[in-house]
Amino acid sequence: MNNAVLGYTPGNTFIHRLSATTKLLFLIITSVACMMTYDTRFLLLMCVLSLILFKVSHVKWKQVSVVVNLIIIFAILNLVLVLLFQPSYGAELYGTKHVLFGSGWLTITSEELFYLFNLMLKYICAVPIAILFLITTNPSQFASSLNQIGISYRFAYAFSLALRYIPDIQESYWAISHAQQARGNEISKKAKLKARAKGTINIVMPLILSSLDRITVISTAMELRRFGSKKKRTWYTSQPFKRNDWLTLIFAILLVALMVFLWKLDGGRFYNPFR
């Protein structure tokens, strides 16, 4: 049973065929645009685009379910903390105050909920594109793309090795987990949360230590082969730019231009429907 999470999955979709450099630049450009603006219209457009790309890539839900669920938990926790620690920030931000319910310090306003809604949209915009990049990009192509945009190939290769080890570590984890369950140590969903957490820690800690040993072995082998002795290196998996790559980058630039236009139209980063 393949329980890999965020491991590279070969495919022949439009997204898989794009150059790794194109996908990396598209991810950076769109993520920066989504983080800079609070225009709800632009964020909704990016959310729809992210979900469409996710559908086009034919990524299966079981490949990303664990990560997506963790991100959802983190996002909800973040939204709740923002609401609890500064429930009046939305009213201060938009300059109006429409009270829905509550009183005193914890007064819930339409402005606060609208601000939290925009924060939620930012997660929906950025997360699917980032996950798609990791799943549809060969680690070696990812390293070459980093090198092509000016990052040292030494660091680029380190990222490549990290991506290659993610599926290996996951496979090792599930193999150990199944072996423990076969010996009667129940750590599946049937067990209590405390027992599952304890069992997971008992597996993860030795796994991390063994992975560090493997990293040391690989580093030593690379040094013996004089890796990093030259200023440049060639990449066997480097992809030349094609028509679809240029069109994708132009589309990303057009999205940024739309964000800048809405920024000027709103007179700032925030779209204010309460004016």
Beta-bridge partners for 101 = 108
Q: Report the distance separating Cα 48 and Cα 40, nearest Å.
A: 12
Listed by start position, the domains of the chain span: 1-137+239-275, 139-236
Average pLDDT over residues 128-143: 80
Q: Report the distance separating Cα 82 and Cα 76, nearest Å.
A: 10
pTM of the model: 0.73
More confident residue, 227 or 14: 14
Mean of per-residue pLDDT scores for the chain: 79
pLDDT band, residue 128 (cuts 50/70/90)? confident
Six-digit token pair at 129? 């594109």
pLDDT band, residue 1 (cuts 50/70/90)? very low
Q: What is the pLDDT of residues 34-56, one digit of tens each?
A: 888 888 899 999 988 888 888 88
pLDDT value for 188 = 64
**Residue 159, burial from CB neighbour count under 10 angstroms (0-12, 13-18, 19+):** middle
Closest by Cα among 274, 275, 268, 212 to 39: 268
Q: Report the distance separating Cα 76 and Cα 165, nearest Å.
A: 30
Average pLDDT over residues 67-78: 82
Q: What is the DSSP string of 169-223?
A: HHHHHHHHHHHHHHTT---STTS-HHHHHHHHHHHHHHHHHHHHHHHHHHHHHHH
